[in-house]
Amino acid sequence: MKNTLPLLVLGAVGMTASPLTAGELTGSASIDYNSHFISYGFDVWGGGDSPSGTETLNPSVSLNYQINDKWSFNTGFWLDINDNTGTSETQETDTWIGLGYDAGFAAYSATLQSWQYASDTELILDLGVSFDTFLSPSITLHHRLDEGASGGFDGTFLVLGGEHSFDVNECFSVTVPIAVGFALDEFHTTDDGYGFASIGLQGSYALTDSASFNFGVTYYDTDEDVVGNADDSFLTYNAGLSYDF
């Protein structure tokens, strides 16, 4: 799955607009059109500077159950649907379960993920912490328990992230997310060190109290040796609809 999941899970744990009460079940559903499929800097379908023909459609559903005022449980799925192999079909199905702990200033999460593609399963454990302060800084350790059909190794990526959001008006908001990732050992390739950096500009327009139209662009810089993309730098774009319930 694309590398936004840990940050999204952290957001669900500790950065909600209003505190959730014990026993409350919330969720969200979305469908997004993406020019690229980027997984921890790796350009999965090789879109690079010319993504025409490698675009993907990505539906997802996530659920969050508030156990008490500190602990929460989350689960969900994400699909990668495209015709990049010659037939329009679901190329990948990702599922996850996770626990979150809200300590107030900091929110912690542990998420076990199963990425199923190419008749194999890649297993992932994400450990994360985010801070409720300026730029919403976060740290994620993304560890492969089983490389599946990735062609990579059972290594670990460290991702440092942050974002700044502001309201343009009561219906429209803008977010600027940034991330820098480092391979701590063999992951995509046998090299380690700096893997990627990204910066985005994302807009969200509220259609109703629960539904929104989201769109934006993200610029990636990736390391040729650590990540191994055909193009080291490229621009991605996205658009989609989301619904909270």
Rounded to whole angstroms, the Cα distance separating 202 from 75 reads 25
Domain boundaries, the chain: 5-244
Band of pLDDT at residue 54, cut at 50, 70 and 90: confident
Between strands 172-183 and 193-206, the pairing is antiparallel
Closest CA to 110 of 10, 23, 187: 10
The model's pTM is 0.91
Query: Which pLDDT value is given to residue 51?
Result: 85
The yes-or-no verdict on residue 238 having pLDDT over 60 is yes
Q: What's the CA gap between 199 and 162, in Å, rounded?
A: 10
Express each pLDDT in 130-176 by its tens digit: 999 999 999 999 999 999 999 999 999 999 999 999 999 999 999 99
Domain 5-244 = CATH 2.40.160.40: yes
Q: Which of 138, 160, 167, 166 is nearest to 13 (CA)?
A: 138
